[in-house]
Chains A and B, each alone.
Chain A
Amino acid sequence: MKPEDFDSYWQRLEQELIRVEQAPECTEIPLRSTPEGKLFGLHLTSLGGYRIFVYYCVPHGKGPFPVIYRLPNYGSVVHIPPFEERCNHIAVALCHRGQRLSDQPFAASYPGLLTQGIESPHTYIYREIAADCLRVMDFLLTREEVDQGRISLVGGDLAIWTAAMRSQAFALYYAPSLFYKSLHKASSSSHYPLEEFNDFLRAFPESKGQVETTLKYFEPINFASSVAMSTMMVEESEGDGDDLAMAFGREIDRCTTYHSSFRDGVRQAQWLADKLETGEPLLPEHWS
Chain B
Amino acid sequence: MIKPDDFDTFWGELLECAEKIPLNASLSLDTMRSTEQVEVFEVHYDSLNDVRVAGWYCLPRIRPRPLPGRVFYPGYISEPTLPKDYAEQGYACFGAAPRGKLRSNLQFNPGYPGLLTHNLVDRQSYAYQGFYVDAIRVIDFLTEQPEVDSERIGIQGSSQGGALTLVAAALRPQVKAASAGAPYLTGVVDAIDLTRTYPYEEINDYLRLHPQNREAMIKTWNYYDCINFADRIQCPIIVYIGLQDDVCPPETAYPLMDRIRSPEKKLYAYDGHGHDANHHVHDEVVDTFFDDHLKT
Contact = CB atoms under 8 A, between A and B. Distances in A.
Interface of A: 30-32, 34, 75-77, 79-80, 82-84, 100-101, 107, 109-111, 190-192, 195, 199-200, 202-203, 258-263, 265, 284-287
B246 A286 contact: yes
Q: How large is the interface on B (under 10, 10 to 19, 20 to 34, 35 or more residues)?
A: 35 or more
Contact of A34 (B81, B208, B245, B246): B208
B111 A100 contact: yes
Interface string B184-202: 0000000000111110010
A261 B82 contact: no
B122 interface: no
A111 B82 contact: yes
B140 interface: no
B84 interface: yes
Contacts, number: 104
Residue from B35, B273, B274 with most neighbouring chain A CB atoms (10 Å): B274
B246 A285 contact: yes
B194 A285 contact: yes
A83 B197 contact: yes
Interface in B223-282: 242-246, 249-250, 272-276, 278, 280-281
27 contacts: A34-B205, A75-B79, A76-B112, A80-B198, A82-B197, A100-B111, A100-B112, A107-B102, A190-B35, A190-B84, A190-B88, A203-B31, A259-B276, A259-B278, A259-B280, A260-B242, A260-B244, A260-B278, A262-B242, A262-B244, A262-B246, A262-B273, A263-B272, A284-B195, A284-B196, A285-B195, A286-B274
B212 to A, nearest CB: 15
B112 A287 contact: no
B188 to A, nearest CB: 16
A203 B280 CA distance: 31
The A interface, classified by DSSP as helix, strand, loop or mixed, is: loop
Interface of B: 31-33, 35, 76-79, 81-82, 84-85, 88, 102, 111-113, 194-198, 201, 205-206, 208-209, 242-246, 249-250, 272-276, 278, 280-281
B51 to A, nearest CB: 18
A135 B141 CA distance: 45
A110 B280 CA distance: 23
Given A109-B102, A110-B102, A287 B113 contact: no
B33 A199 contact: yes
B195 A286 contact: yes
Contact of B77 (A77, A101, A107, A287): A77
Contacts of B206: 31
Contacts of A260: 242, 244, 272-274, 276, 278
A191 B209 contact: no
The CB with the most chain A CB atoms within 10 A, among B32, B78, B81, B242, is that of: B32
Contacts of B78: 75
Given A111-B82, A191-B85, A203-B31, A286 B276 contact: no
Nearest to B32: A203
Given A32-B205, A109-B102, A195-B84, A287 B198 contact: no
Given A31-B209, A83-B201, A287 B274 contact: yes
A31 B274 contact: no
A203 to B, nearest CB: 5
| 7 nearest CB pairs, A to B | A262-B274, A284-B246, A261-B274, A262-B244, A259-B280, A77-B77, A83-B196
A31 B205 contact: yes
A84 B198 CA distance: 11
Contact of B273 (A83, A192, A195, A261): A261
Nearest to A79: B198
Contacts of B198: 79-80, 82
A107 B206 CA distance: 27
Given A111-B82, A199-B32, 13 more contacts: A32-B113, A79-B77, A80-B198, A83-B196, A100-B112, A200-B32, A202-B32, A260-B272, A260-B273, A262-B245, A263-B274, A284-B195, A286-B194
